[in-house]
Amino acid sequence: MKPPADARSGGGEPLLRVEGLSKTFHDRRLFSRAGGAGVRAVDSVSFSLAAGETLGVVGETGSGKSTLGRLVLRLVEPSAGRIRFNGEDITALSQRQLRRMRQQVQMIFQDPYGSLDPRMSVGAIVAEPMIVHGLWHGGRDDRVLEVMRQVGLQAEHRNRYPHEFSGGQRQRIGIARAMALQPKLLVLDEPVSALDVSIQAQIINLLRELQQQADLGFLFIAHDLAVVRHVSNRVAVMYLGEIVEIGPRDALYSSPMHPYTVSLLSAVPVPTVDRERGRDRVVLHGEIGSATNLPSGCRFHPRCYKARLKAENPDVETVESQGERLPAACVLHQPRPVDAGDGHVAICHFPERGGDRSEVAVRAVESSRGAG
């Protein structure tokens, strides 16, 4: 593993810098209510990523992590904010310039079955990006074979079709297609979550090899905390379109500050049966909220165990919300970022740190230590 990114990106511009990036999806139907709030899939997200670094993005379904990945490639047009790639603002690029930029930023998709054209042979699939970008001057067959070998495919696979391969092999084809252009940044949208666990490890090792060879930046989107812990230098936790906690991997997993991170950690399965039985999970209250109708104050408060613990403390001012007494701050005010140093930041009124660390957080970290 490489040292944490902050040590590396000391000077100069990072590979990717995202500032205040937002995406609101509006209902475009003819007779919809005018001026509806829309779905705030990604809301003021900021982060940076250095070359050779892996930033893991975790969150539940609906947290906006996949939209974030597509925003970085501008497959989805941002509503607000800036994306700087290699120091260049790519939010203002024309379609033509954008296509050229995509030579350097590539994406690996979750679904290895759906993301390959079923009517094209493997060789054609791998060659296609080079043809599109005018890098095909005949006789580039050797480059196709080189990329295929790089990802662990054999030369004779080139004339076969995607349906003749297993999921893991198909994901290799998808990786070969992305690597054909020698990109600098890879956006990986749940690259292993559709694969068998045994194949997951092979693909992750392959990705890591490729990263080390070319000093690639990885934006690694996943819902599996164990996988993210394994691959990332830094981790961002998303909830309802917002990064609620971001920090170096070890700091985030050993002393999570945001109650949502704690809840996710306590849900990671533990390989030992005895320990799995013996542990208690922090049960999240209810489902992930709706991004159309965001809760007031802190958007996590309707599901937060910490808010409920805090509300029992007579010193904390509380208000009635949805039939429960919760701290007034959580229900009414947007929380501010709390910085624990070394780039470890969470947005919470009552972060799990220092003397305020609850028993729940301690146990969650302890039980998740066995996992991953």
Partner 1 sequence: MSAELAPETTAEAVPRGRAVRRALGRYLRHPGLSLGLFVLVLLSFVAIAAPWLAPHGPTEADLMNTLAHPSGDYVLGTDQYGRDILSRLIWGARISLEVALAVVALSLTFGSLIGAIAGYAGGWLERTMMMGNDILLAFPGFLLALALVAARGSSLENVILAVSIAYTPRVAAVMRSVVITIRPRPFIEASRAIGMSSSRVLLRHVLPNALPPVIVVTTVSAATAILAEAGLSFLGLGVQPPTATWGNIISDGQGFITSNPLISLSAGLCIAITVIALNLLGDGLRDTLDPQMRRYTGERML
Q: Closest separation between CB of residue 203 and partner 1, Å?
A: 11
CA gap 218, 240 in Å, rounded: 22
**Nearer Cβ to partner 1 (91/358):** 91
| Whole-Å CA distances, 23 to 42, 85, 246, 346 | 5, 18, 20, 21
Which residue ranges make up the site for partner 1 (CB under 8 A)? 73, 75, 95, 98-103, 106-107, 109-111, 114-119, 128-129, 132-133, 152-154, 157, 159-160, 164-166, 168-169, 174, 177-178, 181, 202, 206
Radius of gyration of the chain from its Cα atoms, rounded to whole angstroms: 22
**Nearer Cβ to partner 1 (100/333):** 100
**Nearer Cβ to partner 1 (57/122):** 122
Q: Closest separation between CB of residue 113 and partner 1, Å?
A: 8
Token look-up 């990802």 returns 151
Q: Closest separation between CB of residue 199 and partner 1, Å?
A: 9
With H, G, I as helix, E, B as strand and everything else as coil, classify residue 354. helix
- Return the structure tokens found at 304: 């937060």
CA gap 257, 252 in Å, rounded: 8
- Return the structure tokens found at 134: 């005018």
Of all residues in the chain, what percent are helix, strand and coil, respectively (each to 5)?
35, 20, 45
Q: Closest separation between CB of residue 187 and partner 1, Å?
A: 8
**Nearer Cβ to partner 1 (65/301):** 65
**Nearer Cβ to partner 1 (29/277):** 29
Q: Closest separation between CB of residue 304 and partner 1, Å?
A: 35
Partners of 217 in the β-ladder: 185
Q: Closest separation between CB of residue 117 and partner 1, Å?
A: 5
**Nearer Cβ to partner 1 (168/241):** 168
> Are the C-beta atoms of residues 238 and 282 closer than 8 Å to each other?
no
Token look-up 């039980």 returns 367
**Nearer Cβ to partner 1 (148/330):** 148
Q: Closest separation between CB of residue 42 and partner 1, Å?
A: 17
Mention every residue, 6+ apart, whose C-beta is less than 8 A from residue 30.
none
| Whole-Å CA distances, 20 to 55, 56, 258, 332, 333 | 17, 18, 20, 22, 20
**Nearer Cβ to partner 1 (55/180):** 180
> Are the C-beta atoms of residues 256 and 352 closer than 8 Å to each other?
yes
CA gap 246, 182 in Å, rounded: 29
| Whole-Å CA distances, 178 to 64, 96, 107, 137, 154 | 23, 19, 7, 19, 17
**Nearer Cβ to partner 1 (205/272):** 205
Q: Closest separation between CB of residue 299 and partner 1, Å?
A: 28
Partners of 45 in the β-ladder: 21
Alpha helices per DSSP H over 215-323: 225-231, 249-254, 259-266, 273-278, 305-311
**Nearer Cβ to partner 1 (68/298):** 68
Q: Closest separation between CB of residue 129 and partner 1, Å?
A: 4
Q: Closest separation between CB of residue 23 and partner 1, Å?
A: 16
